Structure 1
Amino acid sequence: MSRARAARSPFAAVKKFVADLLLWSFFAAGLGMSAGGAGALFDGTAKTVATVAGGVVSLIAGSRIAKKPKIKAFLGRPGTLWFLFLFNGGTAAAMYFTMDGAKGIIGAACMGLVSLGALGGLVSGRRARREAAQAAAAAPQAPVSQGPWA
């Protein structure tokens, strides 16, 4: 068990749990409202406002969730980035060709931006790994000790 986790008081642990629960709840509720849940509750202008507000809430909560160390590490893995790139790119193409009007174009553009963001993560991660390998190769190697009896 790490020191930080062992040193955490029970109150701090409960506080962190409640904060995480609220953050994930806001994310899920905002996603639900922006994905069509607003239509089940509202009509007309109220439906539009609830859909947009749900999108904003889920975007803010999702960006806060993405900054957490475990989630950040997961999203930075090459396999995850490849999945996001290919899935969102395919979804953008499908949305463009299957949906009519502005909704199809806007949806495809947004999914395309997510796909390009994942591609940017792949490129920058590859560049960072290459630079780290070059720095390790250029670093002088310490002589290997033969021990006192050599």
Structure 2
Amino acid sequence: MSSVRTFFADLFLWTFFAAGLVASTGAGAVLDGTQKNVATAVGGVVSLLAGSRIAKKPRIKAFLSRPGTLWFLFLFNGGTAVAMYFAMGGVKGIIAAAAMGLVSLGAAGGLVAGYRARQDTARHARHARQGAAPQPAPQTPWA
């Protein structure tokens, strides 16, 4: 019974995610004016909320934490942000570039955190092999 419930919960999340993406990107083909703007905004919020819930799932979280995935997200979204800034005009270009730049910076933060975690693990393993007690990592950002 639990697996059936999980299946339908996942199906529900992915459906809302896809519907939000379709509404936010395809509203211009069907609607005009204020209705188009509302559909685009609501679709974006729905897909963002559903996507954030999907990203918390263990398998997705493990995939998004891999260094290769983080490097791809960092480089691709950083390049896309630059291209959007120059290709799109006005406020839309700035907002789109800022959003993609934030995703790129988030991936860079994940890369740095993963690098530090691997360094701490290696340091602890080295100290364990030498028989010394590991020193705690400094808590100051400048160390």
Query: What's the offset of the Cα at 1:12?
Result: 1.6
Which one-letter code corresponds to 1:132 in the other structure? T
Residue-by-residue CA offset, 1:102-142 (whole Å, 9 max, x unaligned): 01111001000100000000001000000011011112568
Which one-letter code corresponds to 2:93 in the other structure? G
Residue-by-residue CA offset, 1:68-106 (whole Å, 9 max, x unaligned): 000000000000000000000000000011111001111
Alignment of 1:30 onto 2:36: no
Secondary structure of the residue aligned to 1:93 is helix
Q: 2:33: which partner in 1?
A: 44
- Following TM superposition, the consecutive aligned residue runs of length 4 or more in structure 1 with deviations greater than 6 angstroms are none
C-alpha distance in 1, partners of 2:32/2:99?
25
C-alpha distance in 1, partners of 2:30/2:3?
36
C-alpha distance in 1, partners of 2:4/2:30?
33
Q: 2:55: which partner in 1?
A: 66
Gaps of at least 5 residues in structure 1 are: 1-10, 143-150
Gaps of at least 5 residues in structure 2 are: 132-143
State the Cα RMSD in Å.
Answer: 1.3
C-alpha distance in 2, partners of 1:125/1:140?
23
Which one-letter code corresponds to 1:118 in the other structure? A
C-alpha distance in 2, partners of 1:50/1:87?
27
Q: What percentage of residue pairs aligned between the two structures are identical?
A: 71
Q: 2:11: which partner in 1?
A: 21
Give the alignment of 1:1-150 within 5 angstroms: 11-35=1-25, 37-139=26-128
Query: What's the offset of the Cα at 1:41?
Result: 3.0
How many residue pairs match? The answer is 131
What TM-score, normalized by structure 1, do the two folds share?
0.84
Higher-Rg structure is 1
C-alpha distance in 2, partners of 1:42/1:21?
27
What TM-score, normalized by structure 2, do the two folds share?
0.87
